[in-house]
Structures are given as C-alpha cells and as structure tokens.
Structure 1
Amino acid sequence: MKPLGKWLIAIAFAIALGLGALLLMQRTWEKRWQGNVETIAASSLQGLREQNRLSAFAARFVAVVTSEQGRFGLTAKKTLIMPGMVRYEVDLSKLQQRDVAWDEVSRTLTVTLPPIEIAGPQVDMRAIQEYDGGGILLALTDSEKVLDAANRKAGQDELMRQAREAVPMKLARDATRRAIANSFSMPLKAAGVEATVVARFGDESGS
C-alpha cells in the first residue's frame, strides 16, 4: 500500500475516533443534565417559596355608588366616585415539591399553582369625588355620616366585584403563569437543558 493510502486510512480512523468521542461526551452530558432537571427545578422552587408572595398583575378600577336615606318625609342622597387599585397575588409558600412534575418523554416541566388571591383595594383618596342631594336633611341630622359610611363600604365592595370579573382575572392568571414559567425555564436554559415549562392553576384542565 502506498504511503498516501496509509495516511488517508489513518486520518479516517482518527476522524471516526473523534466523532465517537464527541457522541459519547454528548450522551454523557445529556444523561447528566437529565438527572439534574429535578435538582434545578427544586432549587427554583425553593427560591420562589422564599419570595413568599408573587404579584404579577395589578389593575385600577373605578366604583360609582349611591346611598339614599329618608327621614321626616325628606330624602338625602350621596354619590361617591371611588378609584382604587387591586393586586393579584399567589402565595408561593403554598408551592410544594409535588406541584412540580417532570415528564422525560415530552421534556416538559409542569408547575401547578395555588389560586389567585386579590389584595386590596387600595383606594386613591385624592381622586375621590362626592355629590350630594337633600341638603336640609344632611344639615339637620347625621344622615351624611351614615351615607358616607354606606358609600365607602359599597365602593370597596364594587371595586372587588370588578376585580373578580372574567377579563381581569384572565389577565392576572396569564401574567402569573408567564412569571412562574420564566422562573423555572431561565435556570434550565442557563444549564443547557432543553425543556418546555408549563405553569397552570389547579382548577385548569389537565392539572
């Protein structure tokens, strides 16, 4: 065999060995990271639990309420316009290890979240507006105090009613899902793990 042929065979053999070594290293690293997905997820879970609460969404609403009182044949009425902010939170301390599940076949990490809690309302006192009618009754009795108290309670109840409506609740749940999914997917990506992270609430289908 000519020297050139021997060199070609040697080069081909070296390339084959190199490819084999690369494949072996790739499989070794894949197995290593597959075994560490649970470890990375557990670390992310612990970090979230230490935050205690997550507020990924807030919304501002305006309540318009009217209270009325009649005495001595007279009627007093007051209308209150009350703006307020509410926050949508999840209690991260309720997350448990059983709420985080890894599916090796689909390479999907599923996180089941505690329910959304609404915090507030935080009333914007400077933006409150009031309108009244029935001046005589308001001037001669304690009707104004009674109506103010009734309006404040009704206003806060109305703000919470608006906060629980379908659209803001959906926006809050979507924002919370994204925030939690990112909290798990970023460490996985940093570790070179290809995985899909799905965050969902316990009352959703497939949980």
Structure 2
Amino acid sequence: MTWIGKTIGIAIVLLVVALAVALGAAWRFRAVFAPDPTSIARASLEAVREQNELVPFAARFVAVVTSEEKRFGLSAQKTLIMPGTVRYAIDLSKLRQRDVVWNSITKTLTVTLPPVQIEGPEVDLVAIREYGQGGVLMALTSAEKDLDAANRKTGQAELLRQARDPMPMKLAQDAARSAIERSFALPLRAAGIEATVVAN
C-alpha cells in the first residue's frame, strides 16, 4: 500500500471517529438540553394547583315562584321574582400527577379535570320584586311571613335547578377545559414542543 493509500485510510478512520464523537456529543446535548414534555407538564401542574380554584364561568338566573296560604276561609298569595348569580368552579387542588398523561406517540397531553361545582346562588337583594294579594289574612295572621319564607326557600332551589340545566353546565365545562388547555399548552409551546393538550 502506498503512502497515499495509507493517508486516505487514516483520513477515513479519523473521519469515522470524528463523526462518532460528533453524534455522541449531539445525543448528549439533546439529552441534557432538549425540553422534556413530562417535566414541563409536571411543572405546569404544580403552577395550576397553586391557583386552588378556577372559576371559568358564571351565570345569572331569575326564579319566579308563588306560594299560597288558606286559613279561616281566607286566602293569601305572594309571588317572588328573585334574580341570582351562580358561579361554576373547579377545585384545582384535587388535580394529581396521574390526571396528567403524556403520550409521546401522538404528542398529546391529556388532563383529567375534577368535576365542576356550583357555588351560590348569590341573590341580588336589590333586584328582588314581590307581588301579593290577600291582605286581610296577612294582616291578621303570620301568613305573609310564612309565604315569604316559603318563597325564599323555593326561589333558591329554583335558581339551583336552572344552574344545573345541561346548557349552562356544558358552557361551564367547555370554559374550564379551554382555560386548562391553555395553561398547559403555553409552557409547552414556549419550550418549542409541538403538542396537543386535551382536557376532559
């Protein structure tokens, strides 16, 4: 073998070694510095849990209820119009690591949320309206007081019934999912990770 052949052979060997070293260095660099979706999701989970409570949606409802009393052949009736606001909340402190799952194949982060809870109703006392008839019975007995108590109790129950209807519950759940998906997606995007976040 001539010195030219030897030189070429040595050059090839050195090239292979250099390539191996470069590939090894690149792999180690990626292992150390490449963003880890699981670590980012874990950090996001801690940040979300620190908020304690998420109120993604609130709604205002109006209850219209009527109660009637009959005594001594007399009758009295009162109608109550009661507006109230209900908040829909999620207890974020209940989120656990098992509720956040990363799928490396589909590049999807799935977050399982606690159920939406209804808080309230907060009755708008200024906007309450009452209408009644049967003043004689109300003047002579405790009928008016009893009617007011019955209306207030029934009115609050009616506000809660409206709040639990499928449509406002769906709106609240959709709003909660959107808020949580953003909370987990933004850190992933900031780290340059293309991922889909699905909250359910």
When normalised by structure 1's length, the TM-score is: 0.81
* Per-residue Cα deviation, 1:6-42 (whole angstroms, up to 9, x for no partner): xxxxxxxxxxxxxxx8xx96995488545x2111111
Describe the SS at the equivalent of 2:197: strand
| AA matched with 2:101 | A
| 1:2-81 equivalence runs, <5 A | 29=30, 32-33=33-34, 36-81=36-81
Q: Does 1:108 align with 2:108?
A: yes
| AA matched with 1:41 | A
CA contact (8 A) 1:64 1:80 kept: yes
* Per-residue Cα deviation, 1:27-82 (whole angstroms, up to 9, x for no partner): 95488545x21111111111111111100000000000001111001111100000
Counterpart position of 1:178: 178
Counterpart position of 2:137: 137
Describe the SS at the equivalent of 1:51: coil
> In 2 relative to 1, CA 32–107 (structure 1 residues): closer, same or farther, beyond 3 Å?
farther
* Per-residue Cα deviation, 1:97-145 (whole angstroms, up to 9, x for no partner): 0000000000000000000100000111100000001110011111111
Counterpart position of 1:3: none
| AA matched with 2:91 | D
Describe the SS at the equivalent of 2:105: coil
Give the Cα separation in 2 of the matches to 1:56 and 1:106.
28
CA radius of gyration, larger in: 2
When normalised by structure 2's length, the TM-score is: 0.84
| AA matched with 2:84 | G
Count of residues in Structure 1 that have an aligned counterpart in Structure 2: 179
Counterpart position of 1:15: none
Q: Does 1:88 align with 2:114?
A: no
Describe the SS at the equivalent of 2:60: strand
Give the Cα separation in 2 of the matches to 1:43 and 1:185.
12
Counterpart position of 1:128: 128
* Deviant stretches of 4+, over 4 Å: 24-32
Structure 1, gaps ≥5 residues long: 1-20, 201-207
Give the Cα separation in 1 of the matches to 2:90 and 2:100.
16
Counterpart position of 1:189: 189
CA contact (8 A) 1:86 1:163 kept: yes
| AA matched with 1:97 | Q
RMSD: 2.1
